[in-house]
Amino acid sequence: MSIHEEKQLTQAYDLGLMGRLLRYAKPHAKRLMLSVCLVVLITIADLCGPYLIKIAIDDHINGLSLPMVDVGGTEAATVAPAVSYGNLVLVRERELDGKFPAEQLQNKQRYRIVKTGSTSELVQLTANGGTTPVAQLSKADVDRFRNQDIQALYRLSGFYLLLVSVTFILNYTQTYTLNLIAQKIIYTLRANLFAHLQRLSFSFFDRNPVGRLVTRITNDTQTLNDMYSNVMINLIKDIFMLIGIMVVMLNLNVRLALVSFLTLPLIIAATIVYRKYAREAMREVRIKLAQINATLNENITGMRVVQIFHREKQQNRKVEAINRSHFDANTKELHVSSLYRPVMDFVYAIGLALLIWFGGGQMVQGAVEFGVLYAFVDYINRFFKPIQDLAEKFTILQQSMVSSERIFELLDEKDDLPEPAHPRHLDNVAGSIVFEQVSFAYNPGEWVLKDIDLTIKPGETVAFVGATGAGKSSIISLLCRFYDVQKGSIRLDGVDIRELPKQELRNYIGLVQQDVFLFSEDIKTNIRLGNDTLKDEDIRNICEYVNADVFIEKLPRGYDEPVMERGANLSAGQRQLIAIARTLAFNPSILILDEATANIDTETELLIQDAFQKISSGRTTIIVAHRLSTIQHADKIVVLHKGTIREMGTHQELLLKNGLYRKLYELQYRESYTEKAEQAEKAAT
């Protein structure tokens, strides 16, 4: 599989993944419970709104048309708002509902105000459903009857305003709390991801491009942030709202409620179909996004090579193909998600039409009040709103499931180099290194090193030479335990390095590589590398010791000079001197120089060689070099060929053997002689 290809994840571990996601929320359980409580209060407040308006319409705006009971001479007049008119003490029948036994009010006369044109008339309701005129009402009389409605509307308006204000405060508190929890969870998750990446072996990074890993830590975790902040609690809110609306609607009018619920089967069917296709589409989008990030990272990093070899068109076509596949995957997702909301809108329209058809007919017949019908229209709109929002929440939820698959796939990645179950420790490292029958392969069966036997004494300087691919750098990687041997063992001061904690082992080793990596910080920060005990004065002394101060002090800001990405504003030799200073700052017991003087100009090479002699004094030193002139004074030179040790000895001993080393030396000598002759010829002309 290409490094730009993503592993196809087809199993849906929804419950398992959600369980793992909720573990990250467990430390914030108290805040989550507070958020749930706030959601319940907000839901109750939202449900109260339409009901208050229903009361305002039916009980007060249309209050004059409500039946009234003459309660003169009874205690009923003292417990409800009453209006005196002549010998009558009139109280609205609704005000007395349930407050007195039915038989107590059974023989009471009932009245109603009827508006005919510009006049209003008080009529008595007869037993057969007819009316008998009692008196014409003046405007002052109507105002007296109306006064209690006006006062009640003032109270309802004030209560409604208070309700809206409280809801605003609750919404703000709930939103802030939930987003704060989400940010803390994502902070923890990203920290865990990066910490886990740091523990993985080099073989993992060989298989996974940087762009893919960046996608995990940035895009995928951000998707989970949306789930925690927009879905997790708000989904509970939507469920509470749906249940609450159904309860209120059934309480108001059972028949209207049942008519409103006729569209539920359509809603359930549409959601099931959407869920099936949405997950597949969203998984494809995440896969393509990781691919495009990996490809862009590789092409931007290698832009110099692209431009030097005029590969712009070819690489552009490659990126364009991946970009097109990402576009197609997004388009497929849009087809799925764009269809769900219009379907919900259509189902809502059907439900509203059914409600108006049935409820309007009931209202004309007098079986349903206008306020109840208004409340149902409002509630059915609120009923469909969380369902319509479900499309967005479901999209986020599905994206979160896909992202969590990829995140937990990374977190479940086992370290190829586990820490020892019973670690051993070294107090003082002398620097004795023994390779015993060491064999190693990056890929099974393709041996890079075969049966390496080698002993390096404390304080000894050993050089490894050989053609490209002979296994020199592999030996270094094994010693640092970037990889583990498949056969044999490597011992440091008599202890197998697999029995030492990895961090402890690497603290003993200072590695200076050919390709020096510098962070986008200033020079002193690149040397210090988080070692706060290292003072600025110590850094200056180290740089002076290894000859790095020669160029650092010439820079505009000296040790505070910013370093561009990967040290692009410094030469290869300057980067090497900084790397040497960085290595010396950690005072390692074993020094490894891996092709450290390759491609360096002569003047800088002299500075680096002088620095090497200083820092290698008293340390076990291992040198990997192509230039044989730089290792002639090594205590031991090991010649590797196709993963095996072919020759071993000092420079003079190997020359006398007239073997592979001598051939390499003579080849480099002729190349060096030819190069110098050509330079002299050019200078003469």
Instruction: Return the CATH number at 474.
Output: 3.40.50.300
Q: Where does a domain end: 411, 445, 469?
A: 411
Q: Give every CB contact of residue 71 below 8 A, 6+ residues apart in sequence.
A: 77, 80, 82, 89, 90, 91, 96, 105, 108
Q: Where does a domain end: 411, 441, 473?
A: 411
Query: Is the same domain home to 406 and 454?
Result: no
Side-chain-side CA neighbours of 51 within 13 Å: the count stands at: 16
> How many domains is the chain built from?
2
Of the ranges 169-173, 231-235, 463-467, which is most confident? 169-173
Give the tokens for residue 227: 């789930």
658: left (phi over 0), alpha (psi -120 to 50) or beta: left
Residue 453: per-residue pLDDT: 93
Residues 428 and 152: their CA atoms lie apart, in Å, by 89
The single residue listed with the structure tokens 């090479």 is: 605
Residue 673: per-residue pLDDT: 47
Instruction: Return the CATH number at 256.
Output: 1.20.1560.10
**Is the pLDDT score of 529 beyond 90?**
no
Residue 391: per-residue pLDDT: 64
Given a contact cutoff of 8 angstroms between Cβ atoms, the answer to whether 373 and 363 are in contact is: yes
The residue type found at 616 is S
**Is the pLDDT score of 376 beyond 80?**
yes
Alpha helices (H) in 200-231, listed in sequence order: 202-207, 210-215, 221-226
Between residues 12 and 286, the one the model is more confident about: 286
Summarize the confidence of residues 382-395 as an average pLDDT. 74
Comparing CA positions, the residue from 423, 432, 420, 436 lying closest to residue 489 is 436
Phi, psi of 647 (to 5 degrees): -145, 155
Comparing CA positions, the residue from 377, 382, 385 lying closest to residue 360 is 377
In a domain, 648, yes or no: yes
Output the average pLDDT for the chain: 82
The residue type found at 670 is R
Strands across the sheet containing 131-137? 83-85, 88-92, 68-70, 110-116, 119-125, 131-137
The single residue listed with the structure tokens 């073989």 is: 203
The residue type found at 307 is Q
Q: How confident is the model at residue 2 (pLDDT cuts 50, 70, 90)?
A: very low
The residue type found at 491 is R
Side-chain-side CA neighbours of 247 within 13 Å: the count stands at: 10
- Cα 495 to the chain's mean position, in Å? 42
Given a contact cutoff of 8 angstroms between Cβ atoms, the answer to whether 389 and 239 are in contact is: no
The single residue listed with the structure tokens 């107590």 is: 104
Query: Is the same domain home to 377 and 479?
Result: no
The residue type found at 532 is D
Give the tokens for residue 652: 């003079």
Query: Is the same domain home to 360 and 441?
Result: no
The residue type found at 493 is D
Task: State how beta strands 590-594 and 509-513 pair.
Answer: parallel
Percent of the chain with pLDDT over 90: 12
Summarize the confidence of residues 353-380 as an average pLDDT. 86
Query: Is the same domain home to 389 and 463?
Result: no
Q: Inter-axis angle of helices 370-411 and 264-301, to 10 degrees? A: 40
In a domain, 138, yes or no: no
Q: How confident is the model at residue 11 (pLDDT cuts 50, 70, 90)?
A: very low
Q: Where does a domain end: 411, 443, 463?
A: 411
Residue 222: per-residue pLDDT: 83
The single residue listed with the structure tokens 């030469």 is: 571
In a domain, 510, yes or no: yes
In a domain, 117, yes or no: no
In a domain, 85, yes or no: no
Query: Is the same domain home to 402 and 445?
Result: no
Percent of the chain with pLDDT over 70: 91
Residue 277: per-residue pLDDT: 76
Summarize the confidence of residues 524-548 as an average pLDDT. 85
Comparing CA positions, the residue from 279, 188, 185 lying closest to residue 226 is 185
**Is the pLDDT score of 169 beyond 90?**
yes
Q: How confident is the model at residue 9 (pLDDT cuts 50, 70, 90)?
A: very low
pLDDT in tens, 396-430: 777 787 788 888 888 888 877 888 888 898 888 88
**Is the pLDDT score of 435 beyond 90?**
yes
pLDDT in tens, 557-575: 888 888 887 677 888 788 8
Comparing CA positions, the residue from 470, 466, 458 lying closest to residue 434 is 458
Give the tokens for residue 189: 């998750």
Tell me the CA distances in angstroms from 477 to 339, 485, 592, 656, one per residue in order.
54, 10, 10, 31
Residues 213 and 221: their CA atoms lie apart, in Å, by 11
In a domain, 77, yes or no: no
Residue 603: per-residue pLDDT: 66
**Is the pLDDT score of 675 beyond 70?**
no
pLDDT in tens, 36-52: 899 889 989 988 989 99
**Is the pLDDT score of 12 beyond 60?**
no
Strands across the sheet containing 636-641? 509-513, 590-594, 620-624, 461-466, 636-641, 644-649
In a domain, 201, yes or no: yes
Q: How open is the CA angle 413-416-417, to the nearest 5 degrees?
A: 130
pLDDT in tens, 474-504: 898 899 888 889 999 999 999 999 999 988 8
Beta bridge partners of 510: 591
Query: Is the same domain home to 289 and 382?
Result: yes
Between residues 165 and 616, the one the model is more confident about: 165
Summarize the confidence of residues 240-247 as an average pLDDT. 88
Residue 600: per-residue pLDDT: 60
Query: Is the same domain home to 216 and 342?
Result: yes
Sign of the Cα pseudo-torsion (476, 481, 482, 484, in order) = positive
Given a contact cutoff of 8 angstroms between Cβ atoms, the answer to whether 645 and 608 are in contact is: no
Residues 82 and 88: their CA atoms lie apart, in Å, by 10
Residue 166: per-residue pLDDT: 94
**Is the pLDDT score of 648 beyond 90?**
yes
Given a contact cutoff of 8 angstroms between Cβ atoms, the answer to whether 68 and 149 are in contact is: no
Q: How open is the CA angle 374-380-383, to the nearest 5 degrees?
A: 140
Residue 679: per-residue pLDDT: 52
pLDDT in tens, 593-640: 887 665 566 666 677 777 777 777 778 989 887 777 778 888 899 999
Residue 495: per-residue pLDDT: 92
**Is the pLDDT score of 35 beyond 70?**
yes
Say if pTM beats, i.e. exceeds, 0.85.
Answer: no
Residues 216 and 6: their CA atoms lie apart, in Å, by 12
Query: Is the same domain home to 480 and 626?
Result: yes
- Our separate counts of H helices and E strands in the chain read 23, 16
Residues 314 and 583: their CA atoms lie apart, in Å, by 41
The single residue listed with the structure tokens 């370093």 is: 563
Given a contact cutoff of 8 angstroms between Cβ atoms, the answer to whether 617 and 545 are in contact is: no
Query: Is the same domain home to 238 and 297?
Result: yes
Residue 569: per-residue pLDDT: 81
Sign of the Cα pseudo-torsion (468, 603, 525, 619, in order) = positive
Residue 671: per-residue pLDDT: 55
Query: Is the same domain home to 508 and 395?
Result: no
Phi, psi of 427 (to 5 degrees): -80, -55
pLDDT in tens, 295-328: 877 777 777 677 766 778 888 888 888 888 888 8
Comparing CA positions, the residue from 47, 48, 37 lying closest to residue 383 is 47
Burial of residue 458 (CB within 10 Å: 0-12, 13-18, 19+) is: middle
Q: Give every CB contact of residue 403 below 8 A, 6+ residues apart in sequence.
A: 219, 220, 221, 223, 224, 286
Rg (CA), the chain: 42
**Is the pLDDT score of 7 beyond 80?**
no
**Domain range for 639:** 433-684
Query: Is the same domain home to 277 and 235?
Result: yes
Query: Is the same domain home to 453 and 550?
Result: yes
In a domain, 121, yes or no: no
**Is the pLDDT score of 1 beyond 60?**
no
